[in-house]
Amino acid sequence: MKLLAGNSNPTLTKRIADYLGIEISDVSVRRFADQEIFIEVHENVRGQDVFVVQPTSYPANDHLMELLILIDALRRASARRITAVVPYFGYARQDRKPGPRTPISAKLVANLISNAGADRVLTLDLHAAQIQGFFDIPTDNLYAAPVFSRDILERNEVEDVMVVSPDVGGVVRARALAKRIGAPLSIVDKRRERAGESEVMNIIGDVTGRNCVLVDDIIDSGGTLCNAAEALINKGAASVTAYITHGVLSGGAVARITASKLRELVITDSIEPTEAVLNAHNIRVLSVANLLGEAISRTANEQSVSSLFD
């Protein structure tokens, strides 16, 4: 088995390698003067089971191209099986046509990864579960729920906790976490007037005196989350903590979170945290390296991955 890393999240790859007890294979990624990407694998991978760890986070297009070129290099080097480990699958929010003459970019990216030569995909908390069907190769969608539930139970009394979905679309994810920790469920009903802006309209469920746990897959600008936290506090919630898998946190999101009524935002290291994130007083990062490492180990040994979440 070989483990390779692009430039997107070397820290996470190192933690996965430590869990597996192996070394990261030697790969050089450099750019020509016009920013063309050139990749060279410095180890023999012929007949090997190869795992490429590369979230397609900011800058998304550069990291996606790195992933595709890495896969192509491995295919041409006669790797036996290539698994693209994409903890954060970029373009996942473009999973349908929201209007006329718009693309379904998630399907396009799935085609690119398949056609580059990947034999499998291993990802984490896809924005929409049906994206698995965009791939014509086996795709394992892992869940951060076990990592989150363990952390929630260590820090809270279960009878005080209420899991909250920040919108109607996230109810399935929130319900799964609520069932896992034995907590009730509430929903924030919001109306989005335009992209990047949201207005909280109503809270479904009694949150009075509860330690509310907001659950979602992606936090980008942070506006929706901050609005939801304020609405919950105004409805009598004792505190609001958010557990979000992918901390995109673009623009002024970190400043918005630190100034909000959130007691804490907990994200995973599926995306490499920036200095601003690491220095924020109310943002904490949980590692999913062990989860990904175990899934990689089971894939390599032809064992069940789904049993990780039983």
β strands within the chain, DSSP E: 2-5, 27-31, 37-41, 49-53, 81-86, 120-124, 139-142, 161-165, 185-194, 197-204, 211-219, 239-247, 264-268, 283-286
Q: Which of 72-86, 96-110, 166-180, 189-203 has the lowest mean pLDDT?
A: 189-203
Question: Do 46 and 172 lie in a common domain?
Answer: no
Question: Do 194 and 107 lie in a common domain?
Answer: no
Residue scoring higher pLDDT (189 or 109): 109
Residue 303 annotated in ligand binding: no
Residue 160 annotated in ligand binding: no
Statement: residue 194 has pLDDT above 90:
no
Which residues are CB-contacts of 39 (< 8 A; sequence separation ≥ 6)? 27, 28, 29, 66, 69, 70, 73
Question: Do 248 and 265 lie in a common domain?
Answer: yes
142 burial level (CB within 10 Å; 0-12, 13-18, 19+) = buried
Share of the chain above pLDDT 90, in %: 87
The one-letter amino acid code at 150 reads R
Share of the chain above pLDDT 70, in %: 96
Residue 208 annotated in ligand binding: no
Question: Do 260 and 134 lie in a common domain?
Answer: no
Examine the residue annotation and report whether 107 is marked as an active-site residue of this protein: no
The answer to whether 248 and 222 are in contact (CB under 8 A) is: no
Question: Do 191 and 279 lie in a common domain?
Answer: yes
Question: Do 154 and 282 lie in a common domain?
Answer: yes
Query: Model confidence over 229-249: pLDDT tens digits?
Result: 999 999 999 999 999 999 999
Residue 206 annotated in ligand binding: no
Statement: residue 200 has pLDDT above 70:
no
Q: Which two tokens stand for residue 121?
A: 């995909």
Give the dihedral of Cα atoms 56, 49, 41, 69; nearest 10 deg.
-40
Q: How confident is the model at residue 167 (pLDDT cuts 50, 70, 90)?
A: confident
Number of domains in the chain: 2
β strands within 9-167, DSSP E: 27-31, 37-41, 49-53, 81-86, 120-124, 139-142, 161-165
Calculate mean pLDDT across residues 287-294.
97
Residue 127 annotated in ligand binding: yes
3-state secondary structure 60-89: HHHHHHHHHHHHHHHHHCCECEEEEEECCC
Residue 209's CB is within 10 A of a number of other CB atoms, namely: 10
The one-letter amino acid code at 227 reads N
The answer to whether 4 and 43 are in contact (CB under 8 A) is: no
> Which of 14, 190, 235, 261 does the annotation list as catalytic?
190
Calculate mean pLDDT across residues 246-263.
94
Question: Do 232 and 276 lie in a common domain?
Answer: yes
Q: Which two tokens stand for residue 6?
A: 């692009």
Q: Which two tokens stand for residue 137?
A: 């190769």
Question: Do 162 and 256 lie in a common domain?
Answer: yes
Whole domain around residue 113: which residue ranges?
Answer: 2-143+290-309
Which residues are CB-contacts of 198 (< 8 A; sequence separation ≥ 6)? 190, 191, 192, 223, 224, 227
Query: Model confidence over 47-100: pLDDT tens digits?
Result: 999 999 999 999 999 999 999 999 999 999 999 999 999 999 999 999 999 899
Statement: residue 192 has pLDDT above 90:
no
Which residues are CB-contacts of 209 (< 8 A; sequence separation ≥ 6)? 160, 236, 237, 238
Question: Do 231 and 305 lie in a common domain?
Answer: no
Closest by Cα among 270, 272, 307, 309 to 288: 270
Residue 221 annotated in ligand binding: yes
Mean per-residue pLDDT over the chain, rounded: 93
Locus of tokens 């790969």: 27
Residue 223 confidence (pLDDT) = 87
Question: Do 85 and 19 lie in a common domain?
Answer: yes
Question: Do 66 and 157 lie in a common domain?
Answer: no
Statement: residue 196 has pLDDT above 60:
no
C-alpha distances out from residue 171 to 156, 177, 187, 197, 285, Å: 22, 10, 7, 20, 23
The answer to whether 229 and 258 are in contact (CB under 8 A) is: no
Residue 80 annotated in ligand binding: no
Locus of tokens 């869940």: 143
- The CATH number linked to 138 is 3.40.50.2020
Question: Do 109 and 173 lie in a common domain?
Answer: no
Residue 140 annotated in ligand binding: no
